[in-house]
Every structure is written in C-alpha cells, then in structure tokens.
Structure 1
C-alpha cells in the first residue's frame, strides 16, 4: 500500500508517469495506491517531513500497519507516533529468515543497495552479520 505522493516521488524525473514506473518494475499487481482517508494538517511531528512521508505515516496509523521508511526524519517521527518501522535492508533480512531469499542472494542485494547509496556502511555490516547468523 503506497500513498499517491510517494508513488509520484518514486516516478519523478526518470519516468513519464506513475503508471510507467509501475510497468517498468513490473509491480503494478503488487502496489495498491491509497490516500489517507482524513488528510490532517501539518503538526509538530510531521512539519519537517515531505508530503509523501506525511501521507505514508497517516496511512500506516489509520490502518494499523507497519511502515517501510528510509529517511531518518521519517523514521524518528514514525517511532514517536508508535509505528513499527522497517527499511529496505530490514526487508532483505526478513526475506532470508522467511526462506524467500537465499543468503547469497540477500548479500548481493545488500551490495547493490550500498553501491546505489540506499544504505550506509553500518546498516550494510549489521544486516550482513545478521544474515550470517541466520544460516
């Protein structure tokens, strides 16, 4: 479940539309685009976040869902609001533990994420160690 503002952020620049982004990554059947039912004005918690993060947090709160969030400011606000959070590296580890990914595949994914600047060295090392411990 993804708010429209997040999908727009993901597709901006590299794709002609949000639909083109979904087609390119072949994830149209995996993504449900939703808006929070009650848009709320900015408050002290969310003022420092962009619109995509605000919508994602509101949607997670409304639906009682965990939140996949990468940016530190969004993670801090989500924790302050009591949301359970994860990032992409945490999902890679979760996939190993659930036997969805082999450890070697997960480690290669981590290398790709680090190379792309999606995770830092500390996250890379911590998740790599956790993958080794999981096997």
Structure 2
C-alpha cells in the first residue's frame, strides 16, 4: 500500500485563527481589563501609568494618520469633479450631524433641566475658591497641548 501525502501548510486550528483576529483581541482585552478592575483593583491602579502612556500614544498618532489617509485619498482621485462632490457631501454630513447633535442636546437639556435643583446665591461665590487647574485650558492652545504632548 502506498500512501499519498500532501505537502503544504498545515491547517490551523479554529482557536489559533480566532486568536489572530483583531476584533477578538480587542474583546479579550476589554474582558481582561474588566476582570482585573473587579478582581484586583489595586493591580488596575498599578497599571494606570501603562494606560496613560497608551492613550497618549494613540492621541499622538491619530492626527497624522487621519491627515495621511485623507491626503492620499484626495491625491489618488483621478476626477477633480468627483473629489469636489465628495467634499460637498462631507461638509453636508458635518452640518447635518452637527445640527442633529445640537437639537438632541437642547431637547435633553429642556427635559432634564440640569442645575435646576441647585440654589446658589451668586453674591456668596468667591473666585479664590476656584482651583488653579480650572484655568489651565483658558486658551485654545491649552486644549491642544495635552493631545500633542509626548507620551513620556
């Protein structure tokens, strides 16, 4: 008897294929993060510097990536009329979604009346009680600085 053997890549198991999927890795990381937060809150607090570093890295890389993707997309278009149409659609989407978000905010604010139960006499307020950190972002560049700061 002769046996026929095939030469090629060995088949991967279903689990090893699943582990390589990005969505699975994201869900697994979220589940592990929740588990650490519930079961070992001290460890979660010890890992906070890693979290802060990761978030700073993501903030640092998002703006250049979005800029490169948009620039490459526009540069690769053959038809300028098509590019203009896409630009008009993008501005239209932005305006419509901005209007929708403003309307939702106004409706929610009128329904729930935030701050209506807060009875404060303005003459009793003192500006010296406001912490120094409240004025840290008093300018536009103050808002930009945390997003562009080095993650170190």
TM-score range, shorter chain: under 0.3
- Structure with the bigger percentage of helix: 2
- Structure with the bigger percentage of strand: 1
TM-score by length of 1: 0.25
TM-score by length of 2: 0.23
- Kindly indicate whether structure 1 or structure 2 has the higher relative contact order, using CA contacts under 8 Å at least 6 residues apart: 2
Which protein is bigger by CA-based radius of gyration? Answer: 2
